[in-house]
């Protein structure tokens, strides 16, 4: 299961739980399998997986996508972002500096 499939599974489980479509046994199974599944932000999971695939230096194991991007913007504005990194960001995420 890749990150996109995991995000879809978690999101679907959250929606089904919210409307009472999961049995107590299913809820217990999910709680044992993924203790924090109810709090997971599936959209953030997808975004982070996508950003890692862009190969722009982002790693979800280090920080959130938003925090990383803000840091890249700060580095660019101060002139400390290496030119190669800025080029990768410009190509992969047009408008990233203005976001």
Residues with pLDDT less than 70, the chain = 99
pLDDT of residue 99: 67
pLDDT of residue 28: 97
pLDDT of residue 32: 97
pLDDT of residue 60: 86
Q: Are 54 and 93 in contact (CB under 8 A)?
A: yes
pLDDT of residue 30: 97
pLDDT digits (tens, 9 = 90+) for 15-27: 999 999 999 999 9
């Amino acid at each position: 299961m890749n990150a996109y499939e995991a995000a879809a599974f978690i999101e679907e489980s959250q929606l089904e739980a919210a409307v009472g479509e999961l049995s107590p046994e299913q809820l217990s199974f999910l709680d044992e399998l993924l203790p924090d599944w109810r709090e997971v932000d599936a959209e953030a999971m997808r975004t982070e997986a996508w950003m890692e695939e862009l190969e722009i230096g982002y790693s979800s194991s280090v920080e959130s996508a938003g925090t990383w991007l803000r840091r890249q913007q700060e580095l660019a504005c101060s002139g400390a972002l290496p030119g190669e990194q800025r080029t990768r960001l410009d190509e992969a995420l047009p408008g990233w500096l203005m976001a």
